[in-house]
Structure formats: C-alpha cells, structure tokens
Amino acid sequence: MPRAIAQDPSARATLEGDMSSLIARPARLYRVVATAEMVTWTLLLLGMLGKYVLDVGEWGVRVGGGLHGLAFLSYALVTALISVDQRWAPGRFLLGLGSAILPYATLPFERYAERHDLLSDSWRLTTQSPTAVHERVVSISLRRPLLSTAIGAVLVAVVFAGLLTLGPPTEWFD
C-alpha cells in the first residue's frame, strides 16, 4: 500500500471500500477481470509486434505475456467462482473460459452474461445455503473474502510459477 494511503485514514478507508465494493459485487468484479484480460491481450500482441515485426527484442512479449498470464488465470478463477454462485450451465461456464483464449472476447462475453442475467449484484451463496460440494467451497470462500482473496492470489501465483517453469506456451508441445 502506498505510504500516503497507509498514513491517511480517510484514503485507506476509501481504498478498502473500493476493494470491498469490487469483491462484493460479482457483476462489477467480472467486468474488471474481463477488461484486464482484454487489456493484457493488447500488451501481449504489442510485444509480439515488437519482437517479430519491429525486431526490438522479446522484452515486450515477456512483460505483456506475463501480465496476460496473470490476468488469464485470474479471469479463469473468477469465472469459476461466478459460474458456481450464479448457477451457470456447464456450457456457459466453458464459453466464459473459452472467451479468454480468443483475443478481446472476454468483454463481449461479459456483456452477453450481463444481458442474459447471468451476473448479479450480489453473491447468492452468501445468503443461501449451498446444495453441493462445489457450492459449499464457494460459499465458504465468499464468507471470508479477505482470506479467500489472499488464497486465490497465492493459487494464481503458484499456477503461474508452474507454467513459467514449463517455458513459453509455444514450446509446450514441441
């Protein structure tokens, strides 16, 4: 946390309020991660342009690819949480995940989900009892948002680090 925010109680309260507001509303959280995933696609594509067309080296692919990898994993995690909470059909869940594979498809999918009432302004499993094991896991996560956010961040970081050890995705199947 920046020093100015840490020292100013009103700034800290505003930041904490913004974070809790983001986490508390599935529709807003999904829009943010869908947008982040889309923006990082741009960074990755610009890095590829720099590497393969402009011959400026691979730093753009490393930075853009790394950020995109983190955004992709975060989007997948949030898609899974929301699909369980909002009771999406398996096909819609897979469509949501698949939208992250195609450049710029996450935001159109988020808009589709919004238009078809697949996203809510509140988490169902914070007030309703879970009926299945996967709903129970999500319910427990939603009832402890700070701990769950930390665990989710660690999970994304561990998967990201594991994927980094495999090397670039273009080399995975060589």
| Residue 124 covered by a domain | yes
| Residue 9 covered by a domain | no
Distances in Å between the Cα of 27 and the Cα atoms of 115, 119, 142 are 11, 5, 14
| Residue 26 covered by a domain | yes
| Amino acid residing at 132 | A
| Residue 150 covered by a domain | yes
**pLDDT given at position 86:** 96
| Residue 128 covered by a domain | yes
| Residue 121 covered by a domain | yes
> Mean pLDDT over all residues of the chain?
87
Which phi and psi angles does 136 have, rounded to 5°?
-65, -40
DSSP secondary structure letters along the chain: --HHHHH-HHHHHHHHHHHHHHHH-HHHHHHHHHHHHHHHHHHHHHHHHHHHTS---SHHHHHHHHHHHHHHHHHHHHHHHHHHHTT--HHHHHHHHHTTTSTT-HHHHHHHHHHTT---SS-GGGTSPP-SHHHHHHHHHHHSHHHHHHHHHHHHHHHHHHHHHH--GGGTT-
**pLDDT, tens digit, 9 for 90 and up, residues 93-132:** 999 999 999 999 999 999 999 999 999 999 999 899 999 9
**pLDDT, tens digit, 9 for 90 and up, residues 32-74:** 999 999 999 999 999 999 999 999 998 899 899 999 999 999 9
29 is in which domain, residue-wise?
A: 20-168
| Residue 11 covered by a domain | no
pTM for the whole structure:
0.82
Identify the residue with better confidence: 17 or 125.
Answer: 125
Number of domains observed in the structure of the chain: 1
| Residue 118 covered by a domain | yes
Which phi and psi angles does 78 have, rounded to 5°?
-65, -40
